[in-house]
Amino acid sequence: MMFKTDNTMRAGLSALALMIGAALPGAAFAQDASAAPADGGDANQPRLGWYKTCTKQDDADICIVQNLMMANNGQLVTAVGLISVDGKVNRKILQISVPTARLIPPGITMQVDGGKGQKIDYAVCLPDKCTAEIPVTDAMIASLKKGTDVTFTSINFRRAPNPIKISLTGFGAAFDGPAISDSKLAESQKSLQDSMQKKAEEARKKLEDAQKAAKQ
């Protein structure tokens, strides 16, 4: 596979890595995307939805419209970022990060509302994730704004497809609106963490109750 090393690529990958790392302290990629429901339709699944963050890196202004999909156990399954880099070099790219142990040649297929799939080639694989990228076009943005769901399908090492469906509700507002403030993002992340902790405690209690019942 080709490894791109231009400054814009590095800026985009660094920005997406920061986005993933800041989403949930201690969050790790699930080893298999099947840890989350294939249709992404579990109402109890932790999520932040679509939101925009902006930062400055070196001589570039970087804004990311992003969505993180996590399994119920808190593991990060899919990260999507539409990255706008403005500076000496201007570039708009879509990056999708999925767990490792992916087959590289198939790349990741993107489908909006079950339409024609678009292949997105991997740009780099790191120990904790594989990231694919493609230039953002006006047609892509229009499709995402009009769509209901977008599905990203990668192929794992067992040669099984792992489709992850993400709702596009709120995408247009996040894309066209202002970046979320640091305080608002921190508040949303804390709320998400509290929800995940509560679900973990509920699951632990159910397991303990089941074990007690089995001993009776």
pLDDT band, residue 30 (cuts 50/70/90): low
Mention every residue, 6+ apart, whose C-beta is less than 8 A from residue 102: 122, 125, 130, 154, 155, 156, 157
- 115-144 per-residue burial string, b: 16 or more CB within 10 A, e: under 16: eeeeebebbbbeeebbbbbbebeeebbebb
Higher pLDDT, 81 or 128: 81
Integer Cα distance of 67 and 116 in angstroms:
22
Q: How far is CA 198 from CA 66, 80, 206, in A?
A: 25, 26, 12
Q: Which two tokens stand for residue 24?
A: 């949930």
Residue 173: its H or E element: helix 171-176
pLDDT digits (tens, 9 = 90+) for 75-86: 778 999 999 999
Q: pLDDT > 90: what percent of the chain?
A: 47
Residue 77: CA count within 13 A, CB half-sphere? 28
Q: Which two tokens stand for residue 108?
A: 């990741």
Q: What is the pLDDT of residue 194?
A: 60
Residue 94: its H or E element: strand 91-98
pTM for the model:
0.72
CATH superfamily of 7-215: Invasion associated locus B (IalB) protein (2.60.40.1880)
Residue 177 DSSP label: S
Domain residue ranges in the chain:
7-215
Integer Cα distance of 24 and 197 in angstroms:
12
Q: 3-state DSSP helix/strand/coil percent for the chain, to nearest 5?
A: 30, 35, 35
pLDDT digits (tens, 9 = 90+) for 144-179: 999 999 999 999 999 999 999 999 999 999 999 999
Q: Check the CA dihedral 150-137-143-167 and report its sign.
A: positive
Integer Cα distance of 143 and 113 in angstroms:
9
Chain centroid offset of residue 12 CA: 14
Contact at 8 Å (CB) between 107 and 122?
yes
* Mean pLDDT value across the chain: 78
